[in-house]
Each structure stands twice: as structure tokens, then as C-alpha cells.
Amino acid sequence: MSIDISEITPYNFKEVEEKWRSFWLNNHSFKTKNDSSKPKCYVLEMFMYPSGKVHIGHIRNYTIGDIISRYKMAQGFDVLHPVGWDAFGLPAENAALQHKSHPKNWTYQNIKIMKKQIQSMGFSYDWDREIATCNENYYGLQQKIFLKMYEKGLIYRKEAEVNWDPVDNCVLANEQVIDGRGWRSGALVEKKMLPQWFFKITKYAEELLSNLNALNEWSDNVKTMQKNWIGKSEGCSINFHCSNGDNLEIFSTRPETLFGATYLAISPEHPLVKKISKTNEKIQKFLESLKIGSVSKQILDTQEKIGIDTGLTAKHPFLDKQLPIYIANFVLMDYGTGAIFACPAHDKRDYDFAIKYKLPIQEIITPQTASNQLPYEGDGWIINSDFLNGLTIQEARNKIIKIVEEKRLGTKKIFFKLRDWGISRQRYWGCPIPIVYCPKCGIVPLKEENLPVILPKDITFENVGNPLVKHLKWKQVSCPICGEDANRETDTLDTFFDSSWYFLYFCSERNDLKNILNKQDINRWMPVDHYIGGIEHAILHLLYARFFTKALADCNIIDLREPFKNLFTQGMVCCATYRKQNGEWLFPNEVQQNKEGNYETISTKEKVIVGHLEKMSKSKKNVVDPDFIVETYGADALRLFVVSDTPPEKDFPWSDEGLEGCWKFINRIWRMFIYLKSKGINASNIKMDIDISSLNIDLQKVYKNFHKTIKDVTESYENKMMNKAVAFLRETVNNIYSVLEQAESNICLFSIVTRDFIKLLAPITPHICQEAWQLLGFDKLIHENDWPKFDKKYLTSDIINLPIQVNGKLRGNLEISPDYTEEQIFEMALNLSNVKNYIGMKTIRKKIHVKGKIVNFVI
């Protein structure tokens, strides 16, 4: 009975996807096995903020993770693939205010909606381990961790600056300050000092930096970003004697330029400035001028260097020379010692400042090449520098540090840009800090039996500020030490705190985590083998999580120091933008192309400007709704599309045609499966491996190519090059189609190829593959089956195509057996008419033969 492939009923993706989605969920098909007889693989995508709707960028992120997870499952790994919600944070409070709802309700409502969207994609999550950080179990445990770290001295309290709204009388988050004004009151925001909690991340600066080298599965750009952020500089401090009798300590990474110093510069916030400004009106005026917001901002933007002479001088440590001391706006108090010596001949900033204030310039480095342009910042030899003369820069640096230390003028020093992490937030919707303030005992950490400190639900956002401050019933407690009346800390923790250890929580079953993290589980699963997320977290989240891991190790809670073995940062999903000439954004369906090929609005025929591809965003009206896509084309088509064509680390250009193409491909393989089934292709017809010599040449070729496909696709998954895996799989489908009419007479061969093809494709489009798997009578679930293996013997061929070049240019091809001798190959190659024509009467100077690769004649 013949079946026409074009007559096959279209693939009913809705029915099939719904069937398997429910099956997987109801049967907990992806529940973590925790089978220690197998090697483990922890696949994690950065968890989601429950903002309200899933974005197509999430879909791409999670599809990449899911492909890895399913691929590893099929490879026989024991996979942990959890999912959760980064559920605390400011937007919930904003929404509460706007919609008169409660942050908790808003958050859980959003989680409910987004969970449904995520589940519609058929991701292989272990939903039994799902967690939201606003869950009491989670943040209760977090409070215990806080206390351990406090005990260990890793958390401390000090005064720090906050954004203060003087009208609403409350602290504002940075995102609530718009153009220097409070978002609600519109009042000019002030800086105010408040006591706050800090994390001693700087204690780990050196380790955070040096460990980066060992993270060889992280991309260089992320490592560089972290490196710059940590900002280590090595140098030397030098003490100067000030004319007022004070000692002034400066820091320099280039102490070898000391003999070129012509002035010193100190930060406007330097203690010395405070001291001398009391009696100096000019300096007071100068400092006032720096404080005026708009002016100082302008100076910052233009990088204009301004300063003022203090009238003080300092003695050069090696020369009989007094150097003037300036206050300069480009010297930062929170870096180094807040004071520098300036060498204008060899530093751009020092030079600009010296020119402006007519300060002397002393050259001390002679360039290696003829160039006398100042400032000179390149390599060279030291001159005019007494005992350093004639040395290279590096030699001079070593020597002067040695001498400075010998003469006790200063010491070798290392500074970091990294600052301690402020973790207090004057907010309701966060993890309460488990501390009380007792008038008698002072700062009192709570005891374990007092935990968890639960956020009170009965609060109101009608008043400004943090509602916890006004919730007296919650706030007032008795001191755990003396029993007197005390107050709770009303600040909550930064949400980055919540996300710094969630990957550890996932290692255990939820119900096992009442007490503290389970070391055994963590040792089983950590480090995360594949961590996938956006590049926007390259610095903060990833640095905090690395720090947290080290801190927990030092508290003896866990045994590892680096949490993420392989980090993968995927690109953004972008889409074309359209706007009217007045700048108003337009939806794609408001735009059409006219006869001349120009774009115009459909309604008013106004001219439309087609913009660049930009990250999808609501404001630019270039978003695509994942729900609509799943409805219209199915989850498999969407999954396939977001990893097709573009390498996952690059920005992905959304196009409706591309999506349509993926949908067609899904239908194409469906027709193939149905056609093959009708020809008797199924599990029971797989007898054994086939003797390919009995096949005709076309089938031999298809079979051999298929082994190559297994190799290529496997390597592509291994290297997260899903776009290549898709390309190879498409090629395979084309190959199978070309011999489809021979299926009936080669049932065993086609059964084997179809079986393995389904396995190879399943990580990307699991629903259709699972359905075909069942339809063709294979047992178990597709992800539980062994990954196909290729046979090396099929990768080599009896006949190869050998390109023949003359002077490196292709002039012909030989279709030959690779067993010929070099001499025979040269002879055959020279007999090719085209090659003959090229060489003509010329002498061959050299013959090159790379076995199986190429022949090249040099004439």
C-alpha cells in the first residue's frame, strides 16, 4: 500500500505537546534520581524574578539549559536540573502600592502565571525542588547562615550613605532616584549617613581574583570584567613630611617615578583638608564649589581637573626639595590613601593639572624611540633620578621599593577597588535581619530557637517608608539575653544575598532542609557543572555567589570554594523596531511596505523609520509573546527556533520567517516518521547492526553519513553549539528524504537510523520526538535511553575526494581510494586535463601531498 507523503495529516502539535507535558509533570519524569552509581551533572539556569510574564529571552536561556540537561540525561548522567524564583525585591512593593495588593500576593500570583508559561515549554525540571526565596523555609535558613557569618566576623555594621528623601522621610533605592529626585515626592534627594550591615567581601579580594585563572570554563570577558571590578593594584606607600608637622602617606603603583614628582595632590575628603580648611576661607570656598551637585557633575563628565594650593609643602624623601601640596578633585579618598605624588612628565592627569596650575614638569624616563612628546607613558630608561639612573622601569621599581622599605619611608602595598558589600535595605519585601537592638545589651544576634524571623503579613503601604518600622507589634521584642524591651532590626537583606546560595539549597530535597544545608548533598552535586544566564550578571551576582561560597566554606558549612565550573552567558533576543518620524514606537503589525518598498503605517500611510535590531522591550513595541507562539506553532517549534542558526552566546535576531521555517521542519520530520511507520519501520524490526556491503551505494552513503552525524551532533551539544547540531540534523533529514522510497525494502536499516535520529533531536524538540518514539514502538521515555554511538569504521571511506591544487589554487578533484601510493596519486593528478593545462611546459618545483587531504603542485 503506497502512501503519498504530501497527504499525511498535519502534525497536531497541540494534542501531542499537551499529552507529554501532562505526562511528564504527573509522573514526575524528571525527578532527581540521586543515583550515585552514575556520574552527576548539575545543570542550572539563573533563576527568574517573578515580574509577571515570561520573556522570550527567558525562553532562550531555559531552552539552552534544557537541551544540556536532556542531553546529559540521555548520556547516562545523574542530572540535577532544578528551578526556582528570586522572589523578594522592590517591584513587589511598588506594585503593592499601585494596585493596593500585598507584595506576597502579587509575587505568588506572578509565580503562578509564569510557572504555567514555563511548564508549557516542556522543560525537564525537577519541580519537586522548586523554591521561592520569599518562602519562610528558605529565608529562615538564610537567617541562620547570616548568624553563622556574623559569628565568624564576616558581617559587620558601620555608617554608610543612603539616598534620603527629605519630604517622604524615607530611604530610596537607586532606581527610585530619577534625575536626582525622589520618584514619589519629586524632592531633591539628599545623602544621609545611616548605620548599615556590611559583608566583608574585601577579605576575599585576593582569592576572588586569583581563582579566576582556574575557572577555565568561564569566558574571558566575564573573567576580565570581574578582574577589573576587583581592581588590584600593587605599589608602594611613601611617607612625606608636611610643613605643618603632619605625616602624609601617599600610594603609588609607579614609585620609580618619584624623582619626577613636582607636587603632591590630596583628595578633597582627605583628613588633612578638614584640618586646614577650618582656618582657610579660600579652601572652604573651593570645597563648597565642589559640593554643588550640578557643577560637580559637569566637572565629572568633562573630567576637568580642578584644584587649589593648600599653601603647605612636603619634603621630597630623597631630594633637598619642597613640593607644594594641592587639593585636587581627581584624587579619590576611597582608593589608596587619598593622596598621591604627581609626576606630570609621565602621567596624563598629573600633566593636565600641572599645565593648568603652572607647576613644574620634570622628565625622568627617556623613551626607547625618538619621541619627546609629554606626557610620555611608555617604556624606557630612567634618567635624572640619582640611584635609579640607567635602569629600566621594572628594575627601578624593584630597587626603589627596596630602598624605601630599608629606609623605613614606606612599604610595599596592595590596594583593591572592590569595596565591602552593603547588604541592608530599608525595605519590607526582603529577608528580615535576625538582630535585635537592646538598650542594655546593644546589638544582639538572635538565637537559633528565635528563628525564623517571619515577615508580618499585616502591613500597610499607605504611609511612606518601610512598614516594618511602624509595625510595633512585630518590632518590639524582649532581648534574648536580658529579657528587657528591645527592638528588631527593621532593615531587610539585599536580594543579591538571596541569590548567592540558592544553588546550594537545590542540592537537597526540600523537606530535608529544616535545619541547615546538607553537606553530603552539596558534596554530591556541587559545583554546578553548567550555569547558564545573562551577561548582565557577569559582575555582581556571580561575584557575590563566589564570595558567599568561600564564606560558607570558612564557616565550615560547606566544603567547596568555587560554585560554578562552567559558566555560559547567552545573548539577548533582538527584534526589528519601527518608529514614526516623531519618534513614537510602532508595533510590527501597524507597519507595511508600500509599492516603492518603503515602510509606512497601515492606518495613516505615514513614513516609518526601520530601526536596528534591539533587545526586545515593551517600550519599543518589539516584544514577542511566548504564549502566542506556543499557541500558534507549538513549544517544539519555539525551542528549535531559539537555538537555530545563531550561536547561543550571540544576540539572536528574531524573525517570523525563521520561526515559520522551524515549524515547517517539525512538520517535515513528522511526515517522515508517519511515512516510515507506514512502511513498517519500528522497534521490532531492528535485528542487529547491518552489513552495509549488502546495501546499494546510496544507502551506504546515507548510513555512513549518519555515523558522521552522530559524531558531529554529539560534539555540537558537548560544546553548546546548538545551531550546528540543528544544521547537522537538518542535513540528515535531507539525506533520509533522498532515499525514502527505499525504506520498505530496507526496514532494518531505516529503523536503526530513525531510532538514533529521534534520540539526537530529542533534547531540542522533546515532544514530537517522544511521540514518534512511542509511535514506532520504542520503550521507556526518550530521555532515559542511551545516547547513540557512532562506529569509527564508518567515518573513513573507500573513496575519497582529493582536491588538487596548483600554486595553492584548486584546479581539479580526484575521486580515488586513499590507499594509492603518493607516486600514483601525483601521476593521476597530473593527468587531470585542467591541471595539465595549468602546468603546461613549466617545471614543477615542489609536489605536496597531505594524505587524504590535499595535493598541491608548486610551479
What is the DSSP code string of 276-292?
Answer: HHTT-HHHHHHHHHHHS
Nearer to RNA, 166 or 360 (CB): 360
Min dist CB 191 to RNA, Å, is 17
Q: Which of 528, 477, 524, 479 is nearest to 501 (CA)?
A: 528
Q: Quick check: 343 and 262 in contact, CB under 8 A? A: yes
SS3 370: coil
Measured from the CB atom, the residue of 301 and 449 that comes closer to RNA is 301
Cβ distance to RNA smaller for residue 436 or 721: 721
C-alpha cell at position 591: 507597519
Question: CA 524 to CA 734: how far, in whole Å?
Answer: 43
CB 669 → RNA: shortest distance, Å? 9
One-letter amino acid of 357: Y
Entry field: residues in the chain:
859
Closest CA to 610 of 590, 625, 627, 595: 590
The amino acid occupying position 22 is: S
Rounded least distance, CB 720 to RNA, Å: 11
Residues 841 and 859: beta-carbon distance below 8 Å: no
Alpha helices (H) along 121-260:
136-151, 205-210, 220-230
Cα 276 from Cα 286, distance rounded (Å): 13
In this structure, the dihedral spanned by the alpha carbons of residues 689, 690, 691 and 697, taken in order and rounded to 10 degrees, is -140
For RNA, the closer of residues 186 and 271 by Cβ is 271
- Please state the closest distance from residue 221 (CB atom) to RNA, in A: 3
- Closest distance of CB 735 from RNA, Å: 9
- Cβ at position 711, least distance to RNA in Å: 13
Pick 523 or 801: Cβ nearer RNA = 801
Q: Which is nearer to RNA, 69 or 716 (CB)?
A: 716
CB 304, min distance to RNA, A: 6
Identify residue 447 by its one-letter amino acid code: K
Cα distances (Å, whole numbers) of residue 804 to 807, 832, 835, 843:
10, 9, 8, 17
Q: How far is the CB of 821 from RNA (least distance, A)?
A: 19
For RNA, the closer CB: 572 or 608: 572
In whole angstroms, the minimum distance from the beta carbon of 431 to RNA comes to 26
State CA 417 to chain mean position distance.
21
Kindly tell me which of 304 and 791 has the beta carbon lying closer to RNA.
304
By the 10 Å C-beta count (0-12 exposed, 13-18 middle, 19+ buried), 174 is classed as: exposed
21 or 346: whose CB is closer to RNA?
346
* Minimum distance from residue 622 beta carbon to RNA (Å): 16
Separation between Cα atoms, residue 524 and residue 506, nearest integer Å: 12
3-state helix, strand, coil in the chain (%, to 5): 40, 20, 35
Nearer to RNA, 527 or 653 (CB): 653
End-to-end C-alpha distance for the chain, whole angstroms? 62
Closest CB to RNA among residues 48, 642? 642
> Strand 177-178 vs strand 421-422: parallel, antiparallel, or unpaired?
unpaired
Q: Are strands 573-575 and 232-242 parallel, antiparallel or unpaired?
A: unpaired
**Cβ atoms of 403 and 382 closer than 8 Å:** no
Measured from the CB of residue 220, what is the shortest distance to RNA in angstroms?
5
CA–CA separation, 630 and 642 (whole Å): 13
DSSP H or E stretch at residue 264: strand 263-266
Beta strand segments in 603-644, E: 608-610, 614-615
Residue 625 Cα distances to 57, 279, 652, angstroms: 11, 66, 16
CB nearer RNA, residue 482 or residue 844: 844
Question: Rounded to the nearest whole angstrom, what is the least distance from the CB of residue 333 to RNA in the complex?
Answer: 7
- 233 sits in the region (left: phi over 0; alpha: psi -120 to 50; else beta) called beta
Q: Which of 418/459 has CB closer to RNA?
A: 418
Shortest spacing between CB 305 and RNA, in angstroms: 5
Helices (H), 158-278: 205-210, 220-230, 271-277
Nearer to RNA (CB atom), residue 103 or residue 255: 255
- DSSP codes joined into one string, 435-504: EEEETTTEEEEPPGGG---PPPS----SSSS-HHHH-HHHHEEE-TTT--EEEE---EE-HHHHTTSHHH
CB of 659 to RNA, least distance (A): 9
CB of 769 to RNA, least distance (A): 18
CA dihedral 161, 167, 169, 170 (to 10 degrees): -60
Helix (H, G, I), strand (E, B) or coil at 431: coil
Query: Which residue's CB is nearer to RNA, number 411 or number 801?
Result: 801
Task: Please identify, using beta-carbon distances, which residue of 347 and 489 lies nearer to RNA.
Answer: 347
Query: Given the complex with RNA, which of 82 and 235 has the nearer CB atom?
Result: 235
